[in-house]
Amino acid sequence: MGRTLKFNIFRFNAEDPASVPHMDGFRLEETEAMTLFIALNRLREQQDPTLMFDFMCRAGICGSCAMMINGRPDLACHTKTKDLPAEITLLPMPVFKLIGDLSVDTGTWFRSMNEKVRSWIHTDNRFEPGEEEERMDNALAENIYELDRCIECGCCVAACGKAAMMPDKFMGATAFCRITRFMVDPRDERKSDEYFEVVGNEEGIFGCLGLLGCEDTCPKNLPLQDQLAMLRRKMGFSQIRHLFSGK
């Protein structure tokens, strides 16, 4: 026989001035292969149609279902209830603006981060649609692909102590990963110093506490620690070069 799951879910409707933040309790029979996506939909269909949460792909691809699951940020659609205790506490992710209950606005935060790191290929080459595609070495293409796998779920931001202290300012590990993605791309003509100008400050790499909650919680297992180390190393070399060249 399946377990009876007890859910404690944060409730607050940011649109309703009369709404007061509180926790609501629910009970639900666990079924085979149940995910939190299935559980939350059942709760909404059968017990409370006002329950707010976000889902799109249900396959760990769109990044919209991230929430705090028993204190840890993760994707609800790829979390199986059998891997959790019978009592499950769900909270919205911190740092991001709360929309209601478990739903937060990650889009505004990521848009601002992408604008800060100018997250696009910078080149003076004109795009000629009729021309043959430029070739790229397989290993390099794979490296870029690896760094491009971020689904902008926000788990690394929600786990980051520095982002909690500077919610509208600290760029977070996802930004460092974006920067290194463009640094290794030969089509981007920015010089190293141009990247360092963006991340070489307290809102960027110097503000990072280095405790790596980001990498521990990334559901896509992105190598965030390696990118942090690589940026720090390259910035160090660049500063030494400037010291010796007197520039």
Residue 166 sits in the site that holds ligand SF4 (CB under 6 A):
no
Residue 218 sits in the site that holds ligand SF4 (CB under 6 A):
yes
Helices marked H in 117-172: 138-147, 155-158, 161-165
Cα distances from 67 to residues 13, 55, 77, 95, 98, in angstroms, run: 16, 11, 10, 12, 11
Are residues 105 and 20 in contact, defined by beta-carbon separation less than 8 angstroms?
Answer: no
Binding segment for ligand SF4 (CB under 6 A), chosen from 1-9, 84-92, 134-142, 167-175, is: 167-175
- The span from the CA of 217 to the CA of 222, in Å, is 10
Residue from the set 34, 150, 183, 199 that interacts with ligand SF4 by CB under 6 A: 150
Q: Write out the two tokens for 165.
A: 């202290």
Binding segment for ligand FES (CB under 6 A), chosen from 54-62, 111-119, 123-131, 230-238, is: 54-62
Report CA dihedral (59, 64, 68, 74) to the nearest 10 degrees. Answer: 40
Q: Which is nearer to ligand FES, 155 or 179 (CB)?
A: 155
Residue 179 sits in the site that holds ligand FES (CB under 6 A):
no
- The span from the CA of 156 to the CA of 94, in Å, is 11
Q: Which residues pair with 8 in a beta bridge?
A: 25, 89
Report CA dihedral (147, 153, 155, 156) to the nearest 10 degrees. Answer: 30
Report CA dihedral (220, 42, 87, 104) to the nearest 10 degrees. Answer: 50
Kindly write out the interface string for residues 71-100 of this chain, putting x where it contacts ligand FES by CB under 6 A and - elsewhere.
----x-x-----------------------
User: Helix-strand-coil percent breakdown of the chain, rounded to 5?
Assistant: 40, 15, 45
The torsion angles phi and psi of 93, rounded to 5 degrees, stand at -65, 140
Count of residues in contact with ligand SF4, rule CB under 6 A: 25
Q: Write out the two tokens for 236.
A: 């160090």
Residue 220 sits in the site that holds ligand FES (CB under 6 A):
no
Residue from the set 222, 227, 231, 235 that interacts with ligand SF4 by CB under 6 A: 222
Residue 88 sits in the site that holds ligand SF4 (CB under 6 A):
no
Residue from the set 61, 84, 99, 212 that interacts with ligand FES by CB under 6 A: 61
Binding segment for ligand SF4 (CB under 6 A), chosen from 21-29, 48-56, 151-159, 190-198, is: 151-159
Residue from the set 6, 8, 44, 57 that interacts with ligand FES by CB under 6 A: 57
Q: How far is the CB of 247 from ligand FES (least distance, A)?
A: 46
Q: Which is nearer to ligand FES, 61 or 166 (CB)?
A: 61
**Residues engaged in binding ligand FES (CB under 6 A):** 55-58, 60-65, 75, 77
**Residues engaged in binding ligand SF4 (CB under 6 A):** 150-156, 159-162, 172-174, 177, 208-214, 218, 220, 222
